[in-house]
Amino acid sequence: MSEKFSATLRIGDLNDYIAPSQGCVVSLKGIKPTPHKLQKSEQNAEKSRSAPNPLQTDPVKISLKDCLACSGCITSAETVMLEKQSLDEFLSSIKKGKTVIVSLSPQSRASLAVHFGLSSLQIFKKLTTFLKSLGVKAVFDTSCSRDLALIESCNEFVSRYKQLSDDGSCKSSVPMISSACPGWICYAEKTLGSYILPYISSVKSPQQTMGSIIKQHICQKMCIRPDDVYHVTVMPCYDKKLEAARDDFMFEVKSQGGTHENIGLRITEVDSVLTSGEVLDLIQAKSVDFRTLDESSLDKLLTNVNEEGHLYGVHGSSGGYAETIFQHAAKILFGKEIKGPLDFKIIKNSDFREVCLEVEGKTVLKFALCYGFRNLQNIVRKIKTGKCDYHFIEVMACPSGCLNGGGQIKRKPGQSPRDFIQSLEMAYTDDVLASDPFKNPVIKTLYDEWLDQPGSEKAKKLMHTEYHPVVKSITAALQNW
């Protein structure tokens, strides 16, 4: 496995240190708005924009970290130039001789599959051909890192559940709320404050899990300096750009590859995020006849592909968190083997569904899928008033979940939203074998050689994160507009 990877990654002199580029900017015009109301202070900030301060001389600088991911966002009125997350930056990193690695999400694969009328596997192979022709060194699969995130989430849920049922001492241990959606995290941190944050799972999203694996493990294993690697993910939404820009997803180089030049450097797990639509833009900009491209073999190091060449992974279109954790908890806590797919019962609408496990007439597990801000606000209200009886909630900001993310390729004229989602769901699962994350050989190897075991100290340090209540740096800056 490592031989294959090192062959793939033979990319010139790795000792040639090239400083990360800072100069490129991108517009987030068209960023998917998330429909929640502005806080009062944010409304004031909005008002203050129409009354310019004559003492203000320097332009206010806005970075991704300042985005509130709200519908009244500073990005809606004008084109805001933001650094780093762009096709230009991606292409210039290749030109500069960086080791460019791309991690493709299964939702983006499905989006491209529907657009081109190909299967997910064909898309993955042709995209590998296309990206490598540009100079990308390896193309991986975030359904692989998602399996690791799912295992850590299963472990975290079982610990929380036991904590609650042992002595009832920690009421904020359940419901555990999924953490893979940055739209939801941004909303929770900046609008809901500290009461909701303890409920959110501490496990990093599949995007950041992949970032950590590549920059903190693979680089060390291959003796590559992490600052020489430019890691790009392809994702279904713009909010993933905000996630990648969080300070929590940077780490400091301790010692690396036998050199000391880069010790103390701050490294970003994911350098850039491209949406499915931006990848299509790139294909079109290069005037490539994508359908007729050769199909390359896949980079197996961090990809869910078996010996026969089939893709595999969990089937939930937003990551399968509720389903996987439910099955695991039923087995570990109650000795019940439950085969998927689970029969989620519609509660209010198709974006709010639940599934329960009863043992001896008592409901012992109650899980929900809760997608879209309207449903999400209802559930938050219930938690706040102590009326929420779910043990786990898979929360996603987008109605219909990640397949319907704002960065996906738009549907064809005349196609109904319902037909469109159905076609994406088919492309997402059609040639992908349903699998158990605990049986993924790639993840087993990662635990064996790096993380020890689920929930270990090392896993907690590298695969988990923290959330922070509101930091209104932008509102302070806007007071001077």
CA distance 276 to 274: 7
Asked whether position 402 contacts ligand SF4 by CB under 6 A, the answer is: yes
Q: Of the two residues 99 and 120, which places its CB atom closer to ligand SF4 in the complex?
A: 120
Contact 229, 247 (CB under 8 A): no
- Inter-residue contact 253 to 229 (CB < 8 Å): no
Residue 379 one-letter amino acid: I
Distance of CA 129 to the CA centre of its chain: 24
The residue within the footprint of ligand SF4, chosen from 257, 277, 316, 401 (CB under 6 A), is 401
Region 227-246 residues binding ligand SF4, contact defined as CB under 6 A: 236-237, 239
183 counts as binding ligand SF4 under rule CB under 6 A: yes
Q: How far apart are CA 457 and CA 473, in angstroms?
A: 33
Residues 6 or more apart from 86 whose CB is under 8 A from it?
A: 24, 25, 26, 272
Residue 396, interface with ligand SF4 (CB under 6 A)?
yes
Residues 451-480 that bind ligand SF4 (CB under 6 A): none
> Helical H runs in 98-174?
106-116, 120-134, 142-167
Q: Does residue 188 belong to the site contacting ligand SF4 (CB under 6 A)? A: no
Q: Is 351 in the site for ligand SF4 (CB under 6 A)?
A: no
Give min distance, CB of 398 to ligand SF4, in A.
Answer: 3
Residue 291, exposed/middle/buried by CB under 10 A (0-12, 13-18, 19+)?
Answer: exposed
**Closer CB to ligand SF4, residue 45 or residue 234?**
234
Q: Which is nearer to ligand SF4, 239 or 299 (CB)?
A: 239
User: Which region, judged by CB under 6 A, interacts with ligand SF4, from 113-121, 166-174, 400-408, 418-426?
Assistant: 400-408
Residue nearest ligand SF4, Cβ-based: 405
Residue 405 found at the interface with ligand SF4 (CB under 6 A): yes
Q: Which of 379, 419, 421 is nearest to 396 (CA)?
A: 379
Q: Kindly state the helix (H) or strand (E) to which residue 356 belongs, with its residue range.
A: strand 352-359
For position 270 contacting ligand SF4 by CB under 6 A, the verdict is no
Shortest distance in whole angstroms from residue 107 CB to ligand SF4: 7
CA 312 to chain centroid: 18
Residue closer to ligand SF4, measured from CB, 130 or 238: 238
Helix (H) or strand (E) holding 432: strand 432-434
CB of 115 to ligand SF4, least distance (A): 17
* Cβ distance to ligand SF4 smaller for residue 9 or 380: 380
Q: Tokens 């961090």 — which residue?
A: 302
Our CB check for ligand SF4 shows the closer of 127 and 180 to be 180
Write down the least CB distance from residue 379 to ligand SF4, Å.
Answer: 15
Q: The dihedral of CA 214, 215, 217, 221: what is its sign?
A: positive
Nearer to ligand SF4, 32 or 215 (CB): 32
**Gap between the Cα atoms of 104 and 182, Å rounded:** 17
State the minimum distance, in angstroms, from the CB of residue 428 to ligand SF4.
13
Binding stretches for ligand SF4 (CB under 6 A) = 181-183, 236-237, 239, 318, 396-398, 401-402, 405
